[in-house]
Amino acid sequence: MHLSLGFSPCPNDTFIFDALVNNKIDTQGFTFDTQLEDVETLNNWALQGKLAVTKLSFAVYLKVKDQYDLLNSGSALGRGCGPLLIARKDIAKADISQLTIAIPGENTTANLLFSIAFPEAKNKKVMLFSEIENAVLSGAVDAGVIIHENRFTYQQKGLVKLMDMGEYWEQTTGNPIPLGGIFIRKDVPADIRAQLDSLIHQSLQHSYTTYPQLSEYVKSHAQEMDEQVMRQHIDLYVNDFSLDLGTEGKAAVVALMDAAAQIRR
């Protein structure tokens, strides 16, 4: 069976899908039209139902739940892995709602977590995640919500952390942070869904058999990251929840959906 499949070029996603899309495991007859895109692009495509299988921010789930179902494998969910709010200098939390804030996409979980913490902050500027650090440095924005590998580089550029949005979520809800998951369109038959879910699980297990060695597939898409940062990225965002969401992971997703629904009222 041939399916369209979308995920990000970030190391956590390429690490998970490497074995599956590069035939390092038995794909059981599945072939893929693979699209590697920034997660906000994937979020926007999902609003159109473009891809059969896709990585999405959990924040967009409410908008696409009539078209897509969540798979158990492949998610980015955990503790201590949330987005960070950064600036050039320390700023009082009471003043943050008055600032211009760069966000990595309207439909990202990063924006949702920021909105939960600062519901009065409305002056947001959508940017590609990799451009936010420089926008903060240049003064184009007052502060920015950073994700992915920028968590490991902002201090080297002289930027400071104002808040760990994931830490705020964990402290206020007790749940791990649901960042993104793998979703499949509802028109894909149930038996195919189950088979694919199992293959994603197997693909991740295969990548772990050679880790911490990094495959050329992971390195080639890592946007000039050095290997240490790639491993930090994988260690932060890939874990047991990525193999299987389980009861705790699913409960965290429901809690985030409830919070999103409250904000949108």
pLDDT digits (tens, 9 = 90+) for 174-221: 999 999 999 999 999 999 999 999 999 999 999 999 999 999 999 999
152 and 200 in a single domain? The answer is no
How many whole angstroms separate alpha carbon 41 and alpha carbon 56? Answer: 9
Give Cβ neighbours of residue 59 (< 8 Å, ≥ 6 apart). 43, 107, 108, 109, 111, 112, 256, 260
Q: Can you read off the two tokens belonging to residue 206?
A: 């295969």
How many whole angstroms separate alpha carbon 155 and alpha carbon 168? Answer: 20
Domain span holding position 37 = 2-78+176-264
- What is the domain count for the chain? 2
60 and 189 in a single domain? The answer is yes
Residues marked active site are found at: 148
Q: Is 209 annotated as a binding residue?
A: no
HSE-CB for 243 with a 13 A CA cutoff: 7
| pLDDT reported for residue 82 | 92
| pLDDT reported for residue 265 | 55
Using the 3D structure, point to which of 110, 139, 173 is the last residue of a domain. Answer: 173
Q: Is 109 annotated as a binding residue?
A: yes
Q: Is 100 annotated as a binding residue?
A: no
- The alpha carbon torsion through 175, 181, 184, 190 (nearest 10 deg) reads -50
> What is the reported pTM?
0.91
User: Contact, 243 vs 201, CB < 8 A?
Assistant: yes
CATH at 64: 3.40.190.10
User: Contact, 162 vs 96, CB < 8 A?
Assistant: yes
Q: Is 65 annotated as a binding residue?
A: no
Residues of the chain with pLDDT under 70: 224, 264-265
